[in-house]
Structures are given as structure tokens and as C-alpha cells.
Amino acid sequence: MVIDMSYVVEEHPEGQMIRRTTIMKPATFNALNSELAVKILEELGKKSQCAMDIARKLKQHEQKIYYHIRRLEKANIVKLLRREERVGGLAKIYEVTHPYISMKLYEGEHIADVKSRPKEIEFFKSFIKNGKFDGLIVVGSPDPHGKYGAQASDGSAAIDLALLLGSFLQKVSPNYKLDTEVRENDLRNNLIIVGGPKANILIDRININLPIYFDTKNEFNIVSSFTKSVYSEDNVGIIVKMKSPFAKDKEIILLSGKRFKGTKSAILGLMKYLKRIEDGNRFDEGIARVVHGIDIDSDGTIDDVEFLE
């Protein structure tokens, strides 16, 4: 049995380094008791490939390579990435599950006051480099602007977002702009876009790319391309993490709603339930969730959310 606990934390003088890992029990570790198995892992570590490719490079019989790949796959050290058409049939392309492997001997003592939050840090992986925020936060201008002449009131909700991001950073510097200040070269950054579709003009530019989008012809209702559901309530927000349509290898995180309550709900959902965000709708390496803000203590303020999808 293999138990994948996901992360290993390494302490360095300059700070912590958190990496994905496959955690194994001793019974499965015999998958690595062969020099050939280790060589296969070295080849897969260079790039994903099939057994035939590896057999040619290592000058070994293909069936022998397959034997070890099956054992490594059973131990969760490698995984099937895709099937690829080759002459004569389909080839199975494999990759290494994680570059780190940890052995679990038994249920030992754990550190209760651990500082790291690996799942949360992984979510913001593209946005945090060497302890510094690598991106731009874009909030709507409070002045009338754009084709709707709207005034944004969502900026204050971004303060909570900034506090969340700050907890992961070692170095802090100004990293935000109003939507009216954003220029084309700014779009080549990782972007966190906060606000409603009328008050943040950047959302209007990416709306066509969103898997959960705003219907600009019908009161800016939220429409899900996954479930075809339509959400019209003011306190419904969307959380989207996706590849940037403006720059290769960059990402966008969108926290938005029809109005302020929806945007606040999206930010609250990200802050309170970040570990759950990745369990929902997935598309092209992206994530999209819909949350509904609720007022648990009936004081007129949204203080929790429920996931609608």
C-alpha cells in the first residue's frame, strides 16, 4: 500500500523549501531494488517517454523495461501520462509522479506547530518566487470609468487577500494597480484580478476566456459552462485560477461577483477554504469554483461561504 502525503519540507538558511513527494511504506520500496529500475527513473526524470524509448537508450529488452515500469507504477513512483499513437499501435507514455520519495516506517511523532502550509503555497506557486510576490493585483478604480461608468467598491475586500498573501512572503513591495492604470506590458505578469465585471474593466477583457463567466446581456448573471447553471444573487462569487490569455507561462486568479457581496464571498472562500478550492471544476490545468456568501450570525455581514460548484 502506498500513502501519498504530498509534501516534504526542507529547512535552508534562506528559508523553507517545500516539495511534492510520494510517501511509501517499506513493503513497496522493493520496486527500487534494481539498478535498472533506478536508471529507468533517471530517464523518466529527464522527460516523459514510453518503455520502447527507454529500452533503446538503455540497450535493454522492452519487456524487461515494462516489468520494472509496472512495479514502479504499482508503487506510485511513476504514472501513466497519456497514450500516444505510434506505428503499429498505441504507446503508453509515463512520467515520474514526484521527484521526491519518502519512506514511512510507522506512525511516528509529528510536529504540531509546523509553520508551513504546503497546499496553500502550492496554489500560489506561480505568484511567489524567492519569498517575493511575482505578479500584479488589479482592483477596480473608485472613480467612474469604463464603458459602464462604474465606480468600484471592491478594493477594500482585497485587503484581506493581501493579508493572506503576506503570510507567505518574506519580502513585501507594492504590487497592485487600479484597472485604469494597467498597461499592455503589465498584462505579461501573473495577475490577481479583484472586483465585479462592471467595475473592473480587465474582467471584461478576459470574460470570453472564463469557464464560469458573466452574461453581459442579462444583468451580468454568472453562468457556468460546466453545469449550465445561472446565478443571479448578489452574494454569489466566482474563484477562477487559469492560464493567462495575455502571456505564456503566466497565470490569472480571478475573485469576482456581480457586486461587492459576491466579490467578498469569493475572497472569503479563498481565505477559509483554500484547501478545498482544487476539488472542484477543472479545465486545461485550471480551476473554477462558485461560492455563495452566507451570514451565519445574522449581523448583516457575510462571514462564511458554501460551495455551489
pTM above 0.75, yes or no: no
Tell me the pLDDT tens digit for each residue of 172-220: 777 899 999 999 999 999 999 999 999 999 999 999 999 999 999 999 9
The burial class, CB within 10 Å (0-12 / 13-18 / 19+), for 280 is middle
Class of domain 6-103: mainly alpha
Q: What is the pLDDT of residue 37?
A: 93
HSE toward the beta carbon, residue 1, CA cutoff 13 A: 5
| Predicted local confidence at residue 79, as pLDDT | 92
Domain assignments of the chain as residue spans, ordered by start: 6-103, 118-307
Cell 485550471 found at: 286
pLDDT in 10s for each residue of the chain, 309 residues: 334 446 777 666 655 677 778 777 777 788 888 999 999 999 999 999 999 999 999 999 999 999 999 999 988 899 999 999 887 788 999 999 888 887 777 776 655 554 456 677 778 889 988 778 999 999 999 999 998 898 888 878 888 888 888 888 877 777 899 999 999 999 999 999 999 999 999 999 999 999 999 999 999 999 999 999 999 999 999 999 999 999 989 999 999 999 899 999 999 999 899 878 877 788 877 899 999 999 998 888 899 999 999
Strand partners, 11: 16
pLDDT recorded at residue 278:
78
- 23 by DSSP, 3-state: which? strand
How confident is the model at residue 132, as a pLDDT? 86
Please say whether the dihedral angle defined by the alpha carbons of residues 257, 262, 265 and 269, taken in this order, is positive or negative.
negative
Could you tell me the three cell numbers for 249? Answer: 507561462
Domain 118-307, what fold? Answer: Chitobiase; domain 2 (3.30.379)
Q: Given this model, what pLDDT does residue 179 score? A: 95
- Cβ atoms 143, 151 nearer than 8 A: yes
The CB-side HSE value for 214 (13 A sphere, CA atoms) comes to 30
The pLDDT of residue 157 is: 81
Question: Left (φ > 0), alpha (ψ -120 to 50) or beta: where does 89 sit?
Answer: left
Per the listing, cell 505579461 goes with 188
Walk across the sheet containing 230-231 and list its strands.
Answer: 212-215, 221-224, 230-231
Show Cβ contacts of residue 100 under 8 Å, excluding neighbours closer than 6 positions.
Answer: 8, 19, 20, 21, 22
Four-residue CA torsion sign, 236, 241, 243, 249: positive
